[in-house]
Amino acid sequence: MLLKNKTAVVTGAGSGIGKELVLALLEKGVKIIAVDLRDDSLGELKKIISESESKLTTHHLDISDKSAVEKLSREITEVDILINDAGIIQPFVKINDLDFATINKVMDVNFYGTLFMTKAFLPHLLKRKEGYIVNVSSMGGFLPVPGQSVYGASKAAVKLFTEGLYAELLDTNVSVSVVFPGATATNISKNSGIEAPKVGSGKNYKTLPASEAAKQIIIGIEKNKPQIFLGSDSKLMNLLYRLSPIYAIKLIAKQMKSLLLK
């Protein structure tokens, strides 16, 4: 897809990968409808890119609120690209210790939020000369990560939903990509209200900068790539999980064992 002069809706636009996507897309001449739950993050975003204000509008939105999402889609109908980036994680605990209120919230935001946004804006995209949907899953969406099992289930749902959508839209003007970030430097833990465990023994775990993640997503859009793996860990574990699923599961379980909150 050629991005210049296109209009994109970006969720989770106030921070992390979403914020970097907004900045990078604006540089490419894309008009942005920035969506986020946090007004303070949207305010900071507007301060950073005040010179591009004519190409940016911000909207406070809870993507898990179906009625609110549908209302936004009635107000904004000229859209070429939808990027569903917003998401939250769960506390780093085992399923047995996870309460249902948290489970429901994670599923509501990560899966149903993506579903609501897609259902609301797809009719608009189908009317455009060229449309695009990008849904952000996770490395945890194809590889089970202990302590993030429900988060992973929500992202696995996003994976299969997006791949099904890709198949259904093959003969249309709308292209579809699913994104699998590995460890990425964002503030998702803080935004999720979650205590992030410290990596033990003073070891530094390499994370992909959010700006680089955004850059790779945009390259994927421009090249119309159905799957976009972000980071060496995501690419490696995708290969390993395909070759030897049980070995991959045991490996990630060993790595995560010390990070589970007691």
Q: Is 151 a catalytic residue?
A: yes
Question: Tell me, what DSSP letter sits at residue 48?
Answer: H
Residue 179: strand pairing partners: 136, 228
Q: How far is CA 188 from the centre of its chain?
A: 11
Catalytic position from the list 112, 151, 166, 241: 151
Q: Is 254 strand, coil or helix?
A: helix
Yes or no: say if 38 and 191 are a contact pair by the CB < 8 Å rule: yes
Q: How far is CA 90 from CA 11, 62, 139, in A?
A: 19, 18, 15
Question: Measured between alpha carbons, how far is 26 from 28 in angstroms, rounded to an integer?
Answer: 5
Rg (CA), the chain: 18
Dihedral in degrees, nearest 10, Cα atoms 33, 36, 40, 45: -40
- Quickly count: other Cβ atoms within 10 Å of residue 5's Cβ: 10
| Active-site annotation, residues | 151
